Structure 1
Amino acid sequence: MRDHFALLADYNRWMNASLHVAALRLPEGGLAEPRGAFFGSILGTLNHLVVADTIWLQRFAGNDPGHWRALRPLADLPVPRRLDEAACADLHAWWERRQLLDQAIADWIAALQPHDLERAIAYRNMAGQPHGRRLSHLLLHFFNHQAHHRGQATTLFHQLGVDVGPTDLLLRLPAA
């Protein structure tokens, strides 16, 4: 399963780079302009992904068995308090944070051992309620959540006439 998660980490990084390139093509103010999306604007949607990824990665780091070094730098990031928090004020700040998160994700996934995926992860949700689930299942949620909101962002870009480019995971699959 670890190779599947490594593929999803690669796909995550590739798609975020595509969103960054698309965002650079927007006119001034286009990124933050309200679009009627669930998180308001394209920047609001991109910020939500940074917030949610930070929350989950910090939860994972809190369950570190001692060899998840890639997650340690994320412990110093501010803990998000709301899912609609404006973690990054502009595209430059978003891209810096996005690259930090994407590198940590890729490095962490590469360091996971098969038995890590079966570990139970204890965490508290945003309301403070305790939960526990298997890491492999939480990673499925983690990567699916990213794809869901990136899909919303690509729709918003499309509505503005900006082509994000190809988005199919198939393009990241290694040849047989």
Structure 2
Amino acid sequence: MITPDYARRMAAYNAWQNRQLDQAMGALDHAALVADRAGFWGSILGTANHLLWGDRMWMARFGVGSAPEQGLPDSPALHPTHATWSAERFRLDGRIALWAEGLHAVDLAGRMRWYSGAAGREMERPVGEIVMHMFNHQTHHRGQIHAMLTAAGVAAPVSDLFLMPEA
């Protein structure tokens, strides 16, 4: 379904996008970052926190790092400030990149089982599909943050994959 090269490319894209979001978020004060913007996860920081929470959860399921202690409903409050979010986002993006660098085709084959708190039951899906889901989930929520940043008057980052600088 997917290859290790796909995962590596998406990990690089994820880190590039998050660096840009971090910079754009830094242009706002704390009140603007936590203002309710009618997004599914409330605010810019709340959505960024939820995305970080989801990435930590998936990476833990892939055997990299620990799952967040908070449950899904509390994910928007994972980090109370931009600075603490930024530091953890940087660390996690590094872990995602290292994980992707170590992938082999066999790691993306087979099926994965896990308990989904969101679904309230055990789940089983092809590993490659779950890896694609993690990267798709990132893009989905970064799009929401992009819209909220634009509405807040901040020049939102370029998000086109083909414009990503080559490493």
TM-score (norm: length of structure 2): 0.91
Alignment size in residue pairs = 163
Q: Which amino acid aligns with 2:32?
A: G
Cα–Cα, structure 1 residues 51 and 89, in superposed 2: closer, same or farther, change >3 Å? same
RMSD between aligned alpha carbons?
Answer: 1.7
Gap regions ≥5 residues in structure 2: none
Question: Aligned pair in 2 of structure 1 residues 48, 78: CA closer, same or farther (>3 Å)?
Answer: closer
Is the aligned partner of 1:111 residue 2:88? no
Partner of 1:66: none
User: After the TM superposition, which segments of 4 or more aligned residues of structure 1 sit over 6 Å from their partners?
Assistant: none
Q: CA deviation at 1:39?
A: 0.6
User: Quick one: distance in 2 between partners of 1:147 and 1:83?
Assistant: 20
User: In structure 2, what is the Cα distance between the partners aligned to 1:28 and 1:110?
Assistant: 35
User: Which residue of the partner structure matches residue 36 of structure 1?
Assistant: 38
- Please give the per-residue CA displacement for 1:88-120, whole angstroms capped at 9, x wherever unaligned: 111011011111111111000110111110032
User: Displacement of 1:173 after TM fit?
Assistant: 7.2
Separation (CA, whole Å) in 1 of partners of 2:73 and 2:18: 19
Cα distance in 1 for partners of 2:93, 2:40 equals 23
Instruction: Quote how far apart the aligned CAs of 1:58 are.
Output: 1.1
Query: Normalized against structure 1, the TM-score is what?
Result: 0.86
Closer, same or farther in 2 for the Cα pair 1:80/1:54, shift >3 Å? farther
Within 5 A, what are the aligned runs for 1:118-129? 118-126=109-117, 128-129=120-121
Q: Letter of the aligned partner of 1:139 in structure 2?
A: V
Give 1:98's match in structure 2, choosing from 73, 85, 89. Answer: 89
1: CA distance, partners of 2:110 / 2:83 = 36
- Between the aligned residues of both structures, percent identity stands at 35
